[in-house]
Amino acid sequence: MTWDDFWSNFRDFFTTRWFWIWLIEIVVVLGAFLAFVIGGWPGQINNCIWGDGTRQTLTPLPAHATAAQKAAYNKLISQLQAQVQAGEVNGCYCEAFSVSDVVLNKGGVRQTTNTWFNLYSIGTSLIVALWVFADGKAGSTRFIGSANSVLPHLYIFAVLFLGLGSMWFHGSLKEWGGVGDGLSMYTFVAFLVFYTIRRAICDKSWVFWLGYVLTVVVFTATGEIWSELSPKTSSNVSLVLILLLVGTYAFCELIWISAIKSGGCAWLFSWRWWSGIACIGIATLFWSLSKTGKPLCSPTSFWQPHGLLWHPLAGAAAVFIYFYWRLDANDAYTDASS
C-alpha cells in the first residue's frame, strides 16, 4: 500500500459504516463509564482490597450508628487506607486509592493512571479498523479483512474493549467493575483461539460462535467465582485463566496448524508474530513486578507500570497479531469458500 493509497483510505474510512460502528462502540462503552464517574459507583467493594484473605464487611454506616460503631468503622477505614498508601496487603495493582470513596460509592476515578491509560485502545482499534476497511475495499477474502464477514468487526471491538473494559475495574474498584475487566480480557483472548480455529482448522461458523461465546461466559464466571472464594489469590486469577487460553491459542497456531495440519512454520519467520509475543511477555513481566508489594510498586507515584506498560503493551500485541493474520498467516478457509 502506497502513501497515496493510505491517505485515500484514511479519508474514505470516516464516511463508512466501519467508522460509525467503531464510534458507536466508543460512545456506548466510554459514555456509560463516564456516567458512573459523574454519578457515582454503586455496589460491593472489589475483593482485591482483601489481599490477606481476611474479608470483612465494609459498607457505609447507617445514620443511627452508635459512637462505638463509628469509632470502629473509622479505625478500620484508617487502617486500610494506611495499607493502601504503603503498598501493602491488597491485590488492587498497587496504585493508591481512597478506601472511603470506594465504600461511599462516590463518583470520580479511583486509580487515575491505571484507568486513563486504557484509552490507548481507541488508537489500537482505530489502526485495525483502518486496515480492515482498506482490505475489504481491495476485495480481501480472508475473514479478518473481508467486507462480507462479521469477524473483523468483532475483532475491532475486542481490541477496543480490551482497554475500555479495564477502565471499569480501575475506575470503580467495585466487584462488578472487576467482572467487566475480566470480560474484556476473555473477549479478546478467546478470539485468538477461535479465530485461529475458524481460519485454518474448521470451516463451520457455528463452531466459532458456540465455542467463542461459551468460553467468554464460562471464563468470566469462573474468574469471578474464584475471586469470591479466594480473595487472597484474586489478583492471580485472570493471569492463570488468560495463560490457559494463550496456551490453547499457541497449540492451535504452532502445533496443530504448523506441525500437524499444514507442515508449515509461517509463525517461525514472522517478525510480526514474535513482536506480539514479545509485547505480551514484557507486559506480563511488568504486570508481575508492579503488583502491590512487589519491587516496582510505588502506590502514590504517577509511575504505575501496570497502567503505563501492561495495558498499552497488551494493545500493541493485539495489533501485531492482527498484522500477522493479515500478511503472514495463510488461511485454509475464506469467506468465499464457506
User: Of 241, 193, 234, which Cα lies nearest the Cα of 213?
Assistant: 193
**Class of residue 101 by CB neighbours under 10 A (exposed 0-12, middle 13-18, buried 19+):** middle
User: Of 308, 304, 298, 306, which Cα lies nearest the Cα of 85?
Assistant: 298
One-letter amino acid of 164: L
Residue found by looking up cell 507442515 in the block: 263
Query: For residues 173 and 164, what is the distance between their CA atoms, to the nearest angstrom?
Result: 15
Contacts of 76 (CB under 8 A, 6+ apart): 56, 58
Q: Is residue 307 part of a domain?
A: yes
Hey, what's the cell of 261? 495440519
pLDDT score of 253: 85
pTM: 0.92
Q: Is residue 140 part of a domain?
A: yes
Long-range contact pairs involving 57-62 (C-beta distance under 8 Å, separation at least 24): 58/103, 59/103, 60/103, 60/104, 60/105
Q: Is residue 182 part of a domain?
A: yes
pLDDT score of 53: 62
Strand-pairing partners, residue 244, are none
Domain span including residue 86: 17-328
Q: Is residue 63 part of a domain?
A: yes
Gap between the terminal Cα atoms of the chain: 28
pLDDT score of 56: 67
pLDDT score of 54: 63
Hey, what's the cell of 79? 487502617
61-100 b/e with 16+ CB inside 10 Å = b?
Answer: eeeeeeeeeeeebeeebeebeebbeebebbbbbbbbbebe
Q: Is residue 22 part of a domain?
A: yes
**Class of residue 197 by CB neighbours under 10 A (exposed 0-12, middle 13-18, buried 19+):** buried
Q: Is residue 314 part of a domain?
A: yes
Q: Is residue 333 part of a domain?
A: no
Residue found by looking up cell 503498598 in the block: 87
Overall number of domains in the chain: 1
pLDDT score of 266: 60
Q: Residue 272 CA to chain centroid, in angstroms?
A: 20
Q: Residue 185 CA to chain centroid, in angstroms?
A: 4
Q: Is residue 7 part of a domain?
A: no
Mean pLDDT, contiguous 10-residue spans, the chain (338 residues): 66 86 96 97 90 69 84 89 90 93 95 97 96 88 87 96 97 95 96 94 93 97 83 73 90 78 65 92 90 92 94 96 89 72
pLDDT score of 48: 87
CB 111 within 8 A of CB 170: yes
CB 282 within 8 A of CB 312: no
